[in-house]
Amino acid sequence: MIIRTAHGPVEGTTSEGVSSFKGIPFAAPPVGPLRFRPPSPPEPWAAVRPATHYGPAAVQPRDVLLEGMFGQPAFPTDEASCLTLNIWTQGPHGPVRPVMVWLHGGAFLTGSGRDSVFDGSRLARHHDVVVVTLNYRLGALGFLYLKDLLGSQYAESGNVGLLDQVAALDWVRDNIAAFGGDPANVTLFGQSAGAMSVASLMTMPSAAGLFQKAIAQSGSAEYAHTTERATDVTRQMLAALSIPEEAAGALLDVPAVDLLNAQQGVSEAMRTRGDGLGLPFAPVVDGSVLPRVPLEAIRNGAGARIPLLLGTNLEEGRLFLIGPGAPTMDEDSLSALFDAAYPDPIAAREAFQVTGQDASPSGLFAALIGEQMFRAPAARLAEAHASITPDVWLYLFTWRSSARNGDLGACHSLELPFIFDNLDQPGVHKFTGLEPPAELAHTMSCAWAAFARGGSPHPDWNRFDADAHWAMTFDEDSRPVADPLRPVRRL
């Protein structure tokens, strides 16, 4: 099938009633003078462009944990040709379809829209939606703040990764109708750093009107760098590259592999110091692209007309306790953490155990990670948005994986193959265990698509309110529950 876009014709492939178009450029190569600068439109083309293979991912380090978990090779990467998107659709004919635009996670360091877990074929086939996945610049190339060292022409450098997402949404607005999608009914959904991006875009002036609904999975609206902190990270990068501050312009010419190596060194040093929540590169509150910390902006009315579906997994932190370099935890270390986190640490530990968390030191450490980094921020975002709109739905994913002898539990990212109904993708069983419940994948993918179609995910799913804290719990027996983690939330 050939579709004509605003920049030129593209030809995809069709299988079982779904046409896919992969590797379509939505921006010019972000290299040379465009490095660290906002994306520019791609050059048009006249001949039909094959859109049959994914484009390379953004420059990034290898994700050894996920490679080992899924048994997949590292993504091919390229700085020049990474800004591409992928589309799945039943075609341009018939009534226009809801559009679901996916933002991948990966701590703003790794990830790609080409990940096989994010294949949109089943969502498009079973739910008659148009699915879009995309790449955006990561790490230093996407979030290195240079204004204080290189001047106002780099005022937006700390958020060019977010601006890549905006450029993709601009492309969707201008082109998706040709693929059968409705540009006036776009749902932006993302997980982890992708969910943080969703929250950011809800408050960004440049993204206003580009999407009508939002889904934030296991993310936060609270974490963004100040310009001072972002500049400090930039100085650390310069030191790692042996570049004097007065010669910071040399960053424009540093090979991408050298930037990546320096970025890895800075990231590792910050992790060793316990600095930055593992996010050395993140959105920057620059007063322009991102005017305020997203949660503050939402509390003051930003994104008020955008219905929001959000939630977390019961045992988010368990993912971070496996693989090389994973922290270990003994009783003394755990006690010190709880002493620092809560005025009554004994009551806090009891609250976690009452909600079904593993009572071992490593289990409670994982619970503390999940609470502080994901669940509590999600609850605060739900409360903030619900104060200005009634259209908020909260979920809690509680199904536990049997993989790795059950060590993963209901961990971070486990919901992803269920959302996309891709339980049979290569390597997924290493994450979910054998024979994960297909009915749960059907339930969740239906809910996400229903939300995209009409704004209400399920007839039994109560809207969130600050008093009852209703949440849909997703498991083999999915059902709405009032305040499912109340003992922990009350802490």
User: Which residue reads 């809560």 in tokens?
Assistant: 342
Residues 256-291, buried b or exposed e (16+ Cβ, 10 A)? beebbebbbebbeebeeeeebeebbbbbbbbeebbe
DSSP three-state, residue 101:
strand
Contact 397, 314 (CB under 8 A): yes
385 catalytically annotated: no
Contact 450, 457 (CB under 8 A): yes
Q: Which of 360, 426, 437 is nearest to 397 (CA)?
A: 437
Copy the structure tokens of residue 159.
Answer: 């958020």
Q: Which of 162, 141, 161 is nearest to 234 (CA)?
A: 141
Whole-angstrom CA distances from 344 to 228, 353, 359, 471, 474 are 34, 15, 17, 27, 31
121 catalytically annotated: no
Q: Which residues contact 7 (CB under 8 A, 6 or more apart)?
A: 25, 41, 42, 43, 44, 45
Among 192, 197, 220, 413, the active-site one is 192
Q: Which residues contact 136 (CB under 8 A, 6 or more apart)?
A: 58, 83, 103, 142, 161, 162, 164, 165, 168, 197
Return d(Cα 238, Cα 244) in angstroms, integer.
7
Copy the structure tokens of residue 196.
Answer: 């943080």
Return d(Cα 244, Cα 214) in angstroms, integer.
43
Among 79, 316, 371, 415, the active-site one is 316
Dihedral (Cα; 184, 189, 195, 201), 10-degree rounding: -10
Whole-angstrom CA distances from 176 to 2, 100, 183, 212 are 14, 11, 6, 15
HSE value, Cβ hemisphere, 13 Å, CA-based, for 356: 11
Q: What are phi and psi of 143, to 5 degrees?
A: -145, 25
Among 127, 385, 412, 469, the active-site one is 412
Angle 345-354/331-341 helices, nearest 10 degrees? 100
Copy the structure tokens of residue 393.
Answer: 């739905």
- Give the CA angle between residues 284, 285, 286 to the nearest 5°: 95
53 catalytically annotated: no
Dihedral (Cα; 41, 42, 44, 49), 10-degree rounding: -140
Whole-angstrom CA distances from 327 to 193, 317, 319, 360, 362 are 21, 11, 11, 14, 9
Which residues are designated catalytic?
192, 316, 412
